[in-house]
Amino acid sequence: MGEKSKAEKHISRREVEHVAWLARIELSEEEKKLYTQQFNQILAYFSKLAELDTEEVPPELHVVSLVNVYRDDKVEKPLSRGEALKNAPKKREEYFEAPKIL
């Protein structure tokens, strides 16, 4: 990742740009600068977790364990095409209009 200045100990400006691109969020120059500084502060604080030994601890996500939950496979009333399209910012006839792919 190249050399990092002291203020960029955890994440560099280039990494911020890269991750923001992965998240599909375009950042202004000002945001890049601000986020790099803030992320370094926040990640320094998050790194506190490294103090803990979690080798033997399982990652459990739920407080009450649930096994598979099933419901009857019966047809319910779906949204009509009109309802589904109602909130689309761009539509043409009965379709959503997406950005150009090719």
Partner 1 sequence: MAGLFELPAWEAARHIRGGELLAEEYVSCFLERMEKLDGRVKAYITVVREEALKQARLVDEKVKAGARLGRLAGVPVAVKDNICTSGIRTTCASRMLENFVPPYDATVVERLKAEDAVILGKTNMDEFAMGTSTETSYFGPTKNPWNLERVPGGSSGGSAAAVAAGMAPLSLGSDTGGSIRCPASFCGVVGLKPTYGLVSRYGLIAYANSLEQIGPIAFNTRDCSLLLSVIAGRDLRDSTTLSVEAGSYDGALGGDLKGFKVGLVKELMGEGTHPAVVEALQRFAGKLEELGAWIGKVSLPILEYALPAYYIIAMSEASSNLARYDGIRYGFRAEGEGLDWSREFSVTRSLGFGSEVKRRIILGTYALSAGYYDRFFLKAVKVATMIRRSLTESFKKFSLLLAPTMPLPPFRLGEKISDPLALYMCDIDTVPVNLAGVPAISVPCGFHEGLPLGAQLIAPPLGEGRLLKAAEAYEKAAPEMFKRPPLG
The residues binding partner 1 (CB under 8 A) are: 11, 15-16, 19-28, 31, 35, 38-39, 41-43, 45-46, 48-52, 54, 57-64, 66, 69, 71, 79, 83-84, 86-90, 96-101
CA distance 69 to 66: 8
Return d(Cα 48, Cα 10) in angstroms, integer: 13
Least Å distance, CB 73 to partner 1, is 12
Q: Which of 31, 32, 29, 28 is CA-nearest to residue 15?
A: 32
CB of 4 to partner 1, least distance (A): 15
Give me the least distance between CB of 94 and partner 1, in Å please.
13
Helix (H) or strand (E) segment spanning residue 30 = helix 29-46
CA distance 36 to 30: 10
Task: Choose between 9 and 96: whose C-beta lies nearer to partner 1.
Answer: 96
Q: Which is nearer to partner 1, 6 or 100 (CB)?
A: 100
